[in-house]
Amino acid sequence: MAYTATDVKNLRESTGAGMMDCKKALDECAGDYQKAVDFLRAKGLAAAAKKSSRIAAEGVVMAVVKGKTAAVIEVNIETDFAAKNEDFQKLSSTAINVAIDNNVTTIPALLACKTPTGGTVQDLISELTIKIGENWCYL
């Protein structure tokens, strides 16, 4: 199956992967868009696993109070540049709101909670790990 430069562009926009990675994924998957997305996801998660030993010492601390419930969360990543990333900030905000809305008290429980978009907090982290390419630490 052939693909066009527009297909590569669309894959890049939807996954956040680099142009050459998107082109390679479409080559590997004979132009099949969904298979290319899965290919990039698997490649990104494998790369993230290799980075898991690296220190994640930058990040954000957030506190939210809703009614009589309060939560504090710290989410760390490798670099201050990534910690200032809009997607990282949005994920951190989503995580704390999910924690408060679901009365979560542990990290494993938070990671398993559903988000307003339908996936779990862990799914959001996995997707952003692929996009940003850095190791995460949850506290």
Three-state secondary structure call for residue 66: strand
Look up the pTM and report it.
0.64
* Domains identified in the chain and CATH numbers: 5-50 (1.10.8.10), 58-138 (3.30.479.20)
Tens of pLDDT, residue by residue over 12-58, are: 877 777 778 888 888 888 888 888 888 877 776 556 555 556 666 78
Q: For residue 36, give the nearest of 69, 63, 9, 64 by alpha carbon.
A: 9
Residue 38 is inside which H or E element, if any? helix 33-50
Residue 4 is inside which H or E element, if any? none
- Report residue 36 as tokens: 């290319």
Alpha helices, DSSP H, located in 73-120: 80-83, 86-101, 107-112
